[in-house]
């Protein structure tokens, strides 16, 4: 049995480098949250602030908008993926795309290839 302090075990549990430019598919959230205005093509104030919990405490978002990403769609193609109603919170360490965004767009993520695929075969 391997020791918890062995290099192999430590490598298996190593968290990848995450920065403010990281975009993470959050399978446990229906909300998409981005941390910097540079990601947004449109921004507007929310009628009521959104409250959500972070590991560092409670955070509030006062703005929402539209984010456009270029995402690998196949070995050589990129697609423009538009996400509406994205919440803006500078408190987030990384950007989160909620699972419902992909479900509603009828898009699936292939975790083996890291590509998006249309469920409509388009």
C-alpha count within 13 angstroms, C-beta hemisphere, residue 12: 8
Contact call for residues 60 and 45 (beta carbons, < 8 A): no
The CA distance from 84 to 67, in Å, is 7
CATH number of 19-118: 2.40.70
Nearest partner of 71 among 42, 94, 41, 102, judged by Cα: 102
Domain boundaries, the chain: 19-118
Query: For 17-26, 91-100, 104-113, which range has the lowest pLDDT when averaged over its residues?
Result: 104-113
The percentage of residues in the chain with a pLDDT greater than 90, rounded to a whole number, is 23
Enter the pTM of the model: 0.72
8 backbone dihedrals φ, ψ, rounded to 5°? -65, -45
Quick check: helix, strand or coil at residue 113?
coil
Q: What pLDDT was estimated at residue 56?
A: 77
């Amino acid at each position: 049995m391997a020791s918890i302090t062995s290099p192999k075990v430590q490598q298996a549990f190593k968290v990848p480098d995450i920065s403010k430019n990281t975009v993470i598919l959050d399978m446990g959230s229906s909300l998409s949250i981005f941390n910097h205005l540079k990601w947004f093509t449109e921004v507007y104030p929310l009628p009521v602030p959104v409250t959500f919990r972070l590991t560092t405490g409670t955070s509030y978002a006062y703005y929402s908008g539209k984010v456009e990403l270029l995402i690998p769609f196949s070995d050589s193609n990129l697609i423009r993926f538009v996400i509406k109603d994205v919440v803006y919170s500078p408190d987030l360490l990384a950007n989160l795309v909620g699972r419902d965004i992909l479900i509603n767009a009828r898009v699936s993520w292939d975790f083996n290839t890291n590509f998006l695929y249309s469920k409509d075969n388009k």
